[in-house]
Amino acid sequence: MSEEFKVGDRVRLIALPRYVKTAEPMPMLRPPDVISIGEEGVILDRRPGGYWGVRFSKGAFLLDSQYLETVESNQHSDPNPPSSSPE
């Protein structure tokens, strides 16, 4: 039951694996607390072994789709954007 994503999709971390692997030319295992549940990132690419390269604020990591969900494009971070007039 793995979800398919496209490069550029915004995703949200819904669960933490036991460790995370960096998406660098020489990957390193990192503790899972470098990213947190609910953090949003962008799909960079699809990697061998069913992993997705995802860019988060603290770096790019390789994650299986079971840890990710698509962020709905109609959600906005600020429901009340500031008005253009400085009143």
pLDDT of residue 1: 42
Q: And the tokens for 87?
A: 């009143």
pTM listed for this prediction:
0.77
Domain 10-70 top-level CATH class: mainly beta
Q: What is the pLDDT of residues 45-73, one digit of tens each?
A: 999 888 999 999 999 999 999 999 999 86
Q: And the tokens for 53?
A: 């390269």
| % residues pLDDT > 70 (the chain) | 79
